[in-house]
Amino acid sequence: MDQRLNISETSLGTPRTRAVHRAIAEMRRGVPVVLAARHPLIVAPAETIGAEGLRIIDLLSAQPASLILAPSRAAAILPHGIADSDEVIALKLATPLIDLATLRAAADPTLEQILPNFERTTAPEAGLAALTLGKLARLLPAMVVAPVRPGWASLAAGADLLSVPADDLLAYPSLLAASLTKVAEVAVPLDAAPDARLVAFRATDQGIEHMAILVGDPASEEAPLVRIHSECFTGDLLGSLRCDCGPQLQGAIARMAKEGSGAVLYLAQEGRGIGLINKLRAYTLQDGGLDTLDANRALGWDADGRNFQIAAAMLQALHMPRIRLLTNNMNKISALVACGIDVVDRVPHIIAPNGVNDGYLETKAKRFGHLLG
């Protein structure tokens, strides 16, 4: 599927896109919002909702509320498990609404799992959009939802609630990529690359910046060497031995300096897109025996939730539509090609295990399909 975007078609910077960004902020505060759809929903994250949010949902709901989860998370708390699928799973909540501690435990597998016997119910039509909103807020994708009463906005409990179209939530990641703009460029000499420059990108309606580290003049090359690197606070900054991210980053810069040019796209997509807090939760699950893929899925996230449309948009803005990609991950190549980037060659990027991350690297090879050469 071709994911190339025409910016003129995206209605960037409109009140509707700003409403999505406001909804993300409300989720982090635990404030319910209404998803406008054929069957509207009132939603709030299980992770952040408080007693007042539960009260508002109770007052404005037309039917009993449910807890919706990704199937990988639901499988861990339902007594007989569920078939592996991509469907949103809905679980009935008690009336009055279930207590906050149980909601938190149902959402977060790192908490003590003493849970009631949840009963499965029909998932709402806009359930996927609700989970997407939780993920956009970098929260655990576990949402309290209920069909909202007709005329909810005229009621006292609903007067201040935000309404956002469900379809806009699903389109938001693509809109962000299409709206990326260069906001700063400056020389930043590095140990391995004295001529390096940083180029900062920011998308409309949100504050997360993505960086390009340019070595030499890669845009002048017919197919410059490019590395797509997702930020890793623990590996890049602290030198954690749990992963190979720090050596990958420094090795890429050194290789580009040796070749004379290249670009590292440093994406603000920690933990393959799940965010730093969720990555730390995944580490807790890994310490309990799960590998990196199963830990992400136990939290309700995909194995890899990164948005490579952002990388493609950055490459286009940097005038590098044709590249050689420094990677062992074939999925990165297919994702960039789907976004209109011409990847003419794959350059291996092998980092030796350090005695701590051996299992992590083995999982990347066996379960993510990373190549070893």
Q: What is the mean pLDDT of residues 102-119?
A: 83
Neighbours of 110 (CB within 10 A): 18
Residue-level pLDDT at 67: 94
Handedness of CA 21, 339, 300, 210 (dihedral sign): negative
**Is 146 within 8 Å of 61 (Cβ atoms)?**
yes
Q: Does the annotation count 304 as an active-site position? A: yes
Q: Quote the pTM value.
A: 0.89
CB-based burial label for 151 (10 Å; 0-12, 13-18, 19+): exposed
Q: Which of 168-182, 255-269, 349-363 has the lowest mean pLDDT?
A: 168-182
Confidence of residue 13 (pLDDT cuts 50, 70, 90): low
Which backbone phi and psi does 147 adopt, to 5 degrees? -60, 135
Instruction: Please write the tens of the pLDDT for every residue from 280-333.
Output: 999 999 999 999 999 998 999 988 889 999 999 999 999 999 999 999 999 999
Q: Which domains does the chain have, with CATH numbers?
A: 7-173 (3.90.870.10), 180-269+306-366 (3.40.50.10990)
Q: Is the pLDDT of residue 9 over 60?
A: no
**Which of the following is catalytic: 138, 272, 306, 324?**
306
Q: Is the pLDDT of residue 78 over 80?
A: no
Residue-level pLDDT at 145: 97
Q: What is the mean pLDDT of residues 170-178?
A: 86
**Which of the following is catalytic: 168, 205, 244, 304?**
304
Q: Does the annotation count 205 as an active-site position? A: no
